[in-house]
Amino acid sequence: MSMVDPDPGPPPVGGRAAQHIVTIERFLADSQPPGSTGELSRLLDDIALAGKLIASRTRRAGLTELLGKAGAVNVQGEEQNLLDVYADDVMTALLSGHGRVAAIVSEEQSEPVVVDPTAPYVVVHDPLDGSSNIDSNVSIGTIFGVYRREDTSGAPSEADWLRPGRDLVAAGYVLYGTSTMLVYSAGFGVHAFTLDPEVGEFLLTWSDLRFPDEPAYYSLNLASAPQWEAGMGRFVDWLNRPDTPELSQRYIGSAVADFHRNLLHGGVFGYPGEVDRPEGKLRLLYEGAPLAYLASQAGGRGSDGTQDLLEIRPTDPHQRTPVFVGDRFLIARLEECLSEE
């Protein structure tokens, strides 16, 4: 993980300091594999612009009409927030009309939205993750994944989006926190960009981010522990033993924010299954798989407690699954605890 010079100061035109300033557009253009068309780069540029627009509204949500409920309930049975709807609308608008995206699967849309039937890509996304935190000014984010269609001869179908995470060609998130960051991977490492609001550009902050060797956090909602299966209790007991890594417990109710903190400082996030909800709460297609893809690109792993999340082929766009993502050794230990009788 290389931290780009945090404050190169006012760069002389074309001077050495200017070499430190890399926009996401420049990074994407320079990182394209030989022979690529550039279409995926431009799709990621579109998502970066969506992130800027959502960040702008998120920053002012308290000052405009964007706080509060939209008065509708989504397919998840969750009351939609105005910002959920705004973020979903922005993503749909910016992913349409360029001939790149054939269909969009969104947490906020009951059915996949067909955009351009002949286009090469499908985007899955959670337009606003952590919605319960919107009005308390806690970090929230947008999570996305991109699949390349294997057959573009016919209309987009579920064969294009009901795919395991190992088929992803890119995934990432935009995090609306103390700063706005875009973190993505297109299969060649995980790269992080911070939005400079004065110039309206995402500037490269870290290239090839990897989980630190030593974890610092575990993110579990311990208030739900009575609902968990016995193996989870064995894992938490193991975490708290004096001879295991000394971790702090942090859980803020936005998976994307918990994931980001654990990526930078080391750790594991989990949303386990529960007695009355063995499939858990998080959705495989646009929360679990994209985060597991990023984790795998950063030296970590994603699991449902028994198998790699990237191996699970969804049968429904909104299928839920237990999600554990982060430090690969903590996840291996968790799987052992869950497998013990």
Binding site for ligand AHG (CB under 6 A): 78, 107, 126, 129-132, 221, 253-255, 271, 281
Taking contact as CB under 5 A, which single stretch among the options 68-76, 100-108, 167-175, 323-331 is the one that binds Mn ion?
Answer: 100-108
Q: Are 109 and 124 in contact (CB under 8 A)?
A: no
Cβ 263 to Mn ion shortest distance, Å: 17
Taking the least distance from each CB to ligand AHG, the nearer of 131 and 180 is: 131
Q: CB within 8 A of 105, min separation 6: which ones?
A: 112, 113, 122, 123, 124, 125, 161, 285, 286, 317
118 backbone dihedrals φ, ψ, rounded to 5°: -100, 0
Contact flag: residue 258 with Mn ion (CB under 5 A): no
Q: Residue 227 belongs to what H/E stretch?
A: none
- Strand intervals (E) in 28-151: 69-73, 79-81, 101-106, 113-114, 121-129, 140-148
Residue 253 touches which of Mn ion, ligand AHG, none (Cβ within 5-8 Å per kind): ligand AHG
Site for Mn ion in 114-143 (CB under 5 A): 126, 128-129
Residue 271 touches which of ligand AHG, Mn ion, none (Cβ within 5-8 Å per kind): ligand AHG
Residue 281 touches which of ligand AHG, Mn ion, none (Cβ within 5-8 Å per kind): ligand AHG
By beta carbon distance, the residue nearest Mn ion is 129
Q: Are strands 201-209 and 217-219 parallel, antiparallel or unpaired?
A: unpaired
Cβ 145 to ligand AHG shortest distance, Å: 14
Taking the least distance from each CB to ligand AHG, the nearer of 111 and 246 is: 111
Taking the least distance from each CB to Mn ion, the nearer of 24 and 285 is: 285
Say what the alpha-carbon torsion angle 99, 102, 105, 109 is, to the nearest 10 degrees.
80
Cβ 280 to Mn ion shortest distance, Å: 12
Taking the least distance from each CB to Mn ion, the nearer of 170 and 256 is: 256
Cβ 234 to ligand AHG shortest distance, Å: 21
Taking the least distance from each CB to ligand AHG, the nearer of 120 and 267 is: 267
Closest to 95 (Cα-Cα) out of 136, 124, 66: 124
Cβ 79 to Mn ion shortest distance, Å: 12
Cβ 131 to ligand AHG shortest distance, Å: 4
Quote the CA–CA distance of 43 and 49 in Å, as a whole number: 10
Cβ 253 to Mn ion shortest distance, Å: 10
Question: 273-280 long-range contacts, Cβ below 8 Å, gap at least 24?
Answer: 273/228, 273/229, 273/305, 273/322, 274/224, 274/227, 274/228, 275/227, 275/228, 275/229, 276/227, 277/227, 277/320, 278/322, 279/319, 279/320, 279/321, 279/322, 280/320, 280/321, 280/322, 280/323
Taking the least distance from each CB to ligand AHG, the nearer of 130 and 172 is: 130
Contact flag: residue 107 with Mn ion (CB under 5 A): yes
- Planar angle of CA 247, 249, 253, nearest 5 degrees: 145
* Amino acid identity, position 89: D
Residue 285 touches which of ligand AHG, Mn ion, none (Cβ within 5-8 Å per kind): none
> Where do contacts with Mn ion occur on this chain (CB under 5 A)?
107, 126, 128-129
